[in-house]
Structure formats: structure tokens, C-alpha cells
Structure 1
Amino acid sequence: MEVEINRSTLTLMRGDITKQKRDAIVNAANGTLLGGGGVDGAIHRAAGPELLEECKRLRKEVLKGEMLPTGDAVITKGYLLPAQYVIHTVGPVWQGGDQKEKELLANCYKNALGLASEKGLQSISFPSISTGVYRFPIELASKTALSTIIGFLKKHPFGKVVMTLFSEEDYHTYQSSLEELIKEI
């Protein structure tokens, strides 16, 4: 599914984010930036060991040894990935649904798009952040992600934004949310 917003394109697709030929892909990272399971582990494996080394340097030099805060974003090279860059963001762990969790998730998308825009990038692929081991409900996550992306694109022409969804079920959830949201545009 594809919609145009302010001379930009928002696309939903099912696929493997590590195979996306975009300017940047987004990593649903953990705060250590040292890899892990799910999307994070897949991106680190596909990018090769140089990604881990750059993440270690970022953690030491930019973050002063601290973890990347939830909702924030940092950028690295893509190394062996078809994408030129990886934007790492830490999604919230679902704790039951206070407003702060939704805001933190929205910040992941907003900050990743802002960073890509600052770098002059024109295409980006996102996974469904926080809906795996972090247990964020997929329906709420899809509405949060898509409304944040649409809000950003309305104010900032960007280029191409792709939601790369792992399963057919996730795709259909995002498709339903997008159909609902575009009625409001």
C-alpha cells in the first residue's frame, strides 16, 4: 500500500529490512547499541562486525558510556547492508499503556526522520518498533507510528518512507491503521 503526502511517499510492505536499498534503515535497538535479538540482531549480523565497532565508539565518545535513551536516535554507516546508513532508536518496553509509552514510541519515529532529514537523506525504511520482545500492542504501535510519520511528512517533504513489516499479520494491521488515518487527511 502506498500513499502520497506533501510530495513524499509512505509505503507499507512486507519484507526483510536488512535487504532494503534505502538511504537509511532504522534499527529497533536496545540502549547498549551492542546488538541483540530480533531486528537489532538481524541488522548487526547483516552489516558485519564494523557496525558493532562503530556502535561501541558512539557509546563511548558520544554517549559518554551511557545507554541511548528511549526515543532518541543516532546514526551509523550501513557497512555491508544495501542501505548507506543505519539509524538506531530505542523503543519503549510496554508496561501497560500510560501516555508516556506512546510519546516515547512516537519520538523514535520523529527523531529518526529528523536525523535522516538533517543528513539530507531521501529514503528510509522502518521496522515496527517495540512490537517484538518489547510487547507494545501492534494496533496501537501502528497508529502511533503512522500518525507520527504522516505528521512529519505534512510539515517536511522528505522523499520515501517505507514501513517494512515482518509478517503478513503485521502488514494487515498497519494497512488497516493507514486506511483509517488517510480518511482524516
Structure 2
Amino acid sequence: MKLTLVQGDITEQRVDAIVNAANSSLLGGGGVDGAIHRKGGPEILEECRALRASRYGGGLPAGQAVSTTAGRLPARWVIHTVGPVYSRSEDRSHLLASCYRESLKVADALGAATVAFPAVSTGVYRWPMDDAARISVTTVLRSGSTIDEARFVLFDFAAYEIFDRVLREFG
């Protein structure tokens, strides 16, 4: 698998699947989640509501992933995953790693060749960027996924630099 880094807007990525750093409601929110729902249009929300009415009545648990249409985005699917809120008193890194593993499992099941990831949990969930980069890069590269390219789309240059350093350290 090829792992690439891009500084930019995840909603503009021409890939098979875009991963959404969703909240457990699946009904939109701020940050990446809000941007994906706004640009993707009502089709995404409609499928999310159907998921809430069936399998995820209580919401999507942290560390799990599920797919919907990408609506008006330049992708085929959106893979929604709920990252954990960072805690200094409790190690939740297994949940953050699970977001990436489960998203890749969904991508493999869909037949996706290219997947764009945000830095899950690093916004309002306050996960430190250095640690998030280490966990995500390590998890994706060791996943055993059959996708051709995993692309990390980082919103700003500071995040890009951190992911770039972690990727170079990984070798």
C-alpha cells in the first residue's frame, strides 16, 4: 500500500472513499464532519438517518466504521468513523487505532482502491497531533488492507509537517 500526505480539503479529494471523523449521532457536526455533510449534500444525511433507524439506534460507537454514499463529493463512498475523545487519565489509543483499522476493513469490503483520511480525533476531541500521527500511520501501514493508496489529508501545514516527520521515522 502506498501512503501519501496532502495538505488541503478532504472534501475535494478524488478518491474512492473519504473517511469522515464523525460524531456518534452520524447526523453531522462541526469540523470535518460538518464539511463532509455540507458539501456532500442531503443524500449522506438521508443514509445516516437510515443507519440510525436500523443498526445504530444508539449511535455509532467509538472505534467502529460504516459507509454511506458520498453524495455530491468527488468520491464514491464516505466511511464514517467515531474517534475517541482524548484523555490524560485513560489510554484510549486502541480506539483511535480501531478507527483506522475498521475504516480500512469497510474500504476493502467496498472494493475501494483509494481512501482519504483526516487526522481523526485531533480537532474538538483534542488528541495530540504527534501521538495521533504515530498511531494512524502505524495502524494503516500494518493493517494488511488491500487498498492501493491511503491518503492522509491534513488541514494545515503544521499537521502536515508532523505526519511527514512520523512517516519518515517509520521508514
**Do the two structures share a fold, i.e. TM-score over 0.5?**
yes
Corresponding letter in the other structure for 1:110: R
Corresponding letter in the other structure for 2:111: G
Count of matched residue pairs: 171
C-alpha spacing 1:97/1:19, structure 2 compared with 1 (3 Å) = farther
- The whole-number CA distance in structure 2 between the counterparts of 1:134 and 1:118 is 28
- The whole-number CA distance in structure 1 between the counterparts of 2:15 and 2:146 is 17
Residue 125 of structure 1 aligns to a residue whose secondary structure is strand
- Aligned-residue sequence identity (percent) comes to 47
- The whole-number CA distance in structure 2 between the counterparts of 1:88 and 1:158 is 17
Q: Which residue of 2 aligns with 1:141?
A: 132
Q: Which residue of 2 aligns with 1:4?
A: none
Q: Which residue of 2 aligns with 1:117?
A: 108
Q: Which residue of 1 aligns with 2:64?
A: 72
Residue 158 of structure 2 aligns to a residue whose secondary structure is helix
After TM superposition, the runs of 4+ consecutive aligned structure 1 residues lying more than 3 A away are none
- Summarize the alignment of residues 48-59 of structure 1 with structure 2, pairs less than 5 Å apart: 48-59=41-52
2:86 maps to which of 82, 94, 103: 94
Is the aligned partner of 1:128 residue 2:119?
Answer: yes
- The whole-number CA distance in structure 2 between the counterparts of 1:121 and 1:13 is 19
C-alpha spacing 1:28/1:97, structure 2 compared with 1 (3 Å) = farther
Structure 1 unaligned segments of length 5 or more: list them. Answer: 1-7
- The whole-number CA distance in structure 2 between the counterparts of 1:31 and 1:148 is 22
Structure 2 unaligned segments of length 5 or more: list them. Answer: none
8 A Cα contact 2:24 2:62, kept in partner: yes
Q: TM-score, normalised by structure 2?
A: 0.97
8 A Cα contact 2:104 2:145, kept in partner: no
Corresponding letter in the other structure for 1:135: R
Residue 97 of structure 1 and its aligned partner are, at CA, apart by 5.6
8 A Cα contact 2:108 2:146, kept in partner: no
- Summarize the alignment of residues 1-185 of structure 1 with structure 2, pairs less than 5 Å apart: 8-63=1-56, 65-96=57-88, 98-99=90-91, 101-152=92-143, 155-182=144-171
Residue 171 of structure 1 and its aligned partner are, at CA, apart by 0.1
Residue 60 of structure 1 and its aligned partner are, at CA, apart by 0.8
Q: TM-score, normalised by structure 1?
A: 0.90
- The whole-number CA distance in structure 1 between the counterparts of 2:145 and 2:81 is 20
RMSD over aligned CA atoms reads 0.9
Residue 62 of structure 1 aligns to a residue whose secondary structure is coil
- The whole-number CA distance in structure 1 between the counterparts of 2:154 and 2:72 is 21
